[in-house]
Each structure stands twice: as C-alpha cells, then as structure tokens.
C-alpha cells in the first residue's frame, strides 16, 4: 500500500481535532520542523544564488581546486530530518491523541452559551 502524503498544515489541523494543540511534545516537534524548514530554505537560497554548483579554493602557488558546493550534500540530510520530524508528529497524533473531536454544530455551540 502506498503511503499517503500529509502536509504540515494538515497535521496541525489533525492535532487540533485530536486535542493535541497544547501538547508540549507535539509543540516541540512542530517548532523543530519550523526551524528545519527555515534551514532548508536558506540552503536552497544559497545554492540558487551561486553561479554554479561548484566552489573553488585556492591552495599552494595560486592553484585553484574545484569542488562540489558543500551545501548540495547538506540539503538531503536536512530534508530527511524534516521528514522524520513530520513522521514523529503523526505518531504523536496517533498514539497520544484522544478520540477525534468533531466540530460542534451551530445548535450545539448556541446551547453551550
């Protein structure tokens, strides 16, 4: 069976429906994911701003050595880490979430007031 793709926003809505919007473990994972996304964005911008995917370093006697941009190696590592964080958020929802709370109807919300 193919895995279904779930976006960050969908996970946040799921967390709210399962009563986890104030769970510290879930909030910690969400903050970590946000930080990882910022790092990934910065890496992508740095790679795109370079003229090429290579960098050069000058060593002895003004000789240039050309290397692959080190950020190219870092991008998959950070992307994988972000994917694992999203998977952990989904696990938290599945294991710690209470029964799915259905949204109240207008009549129920009026009765509560």
For the whole model, what pTM was predicted? 0.69
Mention every residue, 6+ apart, whose C-beta is less than 8 A from residue 59: 65
pLDDT band at residue 3 under the 50/70/90 scheme: low
Average pLDDT over residues 19-26: 88
Average pLDDT, whole number, for the chain? 82
Residue 30: pLDDT over 80: yes
pLDDT band at residue 100 under the 50/70/90 scheme: low
């Amino acid at each position: 069976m193919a895995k279904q793709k779930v976006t960050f926003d969908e996970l946040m809505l799921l967390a709210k429906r399962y009563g986890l919007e104030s769970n510290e473990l879930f909030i910690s994972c969400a903050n970590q994911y946000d930080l990882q996304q910022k790092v990934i964005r910065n890496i992508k911008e740095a790679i795109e701003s370079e003229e090429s995917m290579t960098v050069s370093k000058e060593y002895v006697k003004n000789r240039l050595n050309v290397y692959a941009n080190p950020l190219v190696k870092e991008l998959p590592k950070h992307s994988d880490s972000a994917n694992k964080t999203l998977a952990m958020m989904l696990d938290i929802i599945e294991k710690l979430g209470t029964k799915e709370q259905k949204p109240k109807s207008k009549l129920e919300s009026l009765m509560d007031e």
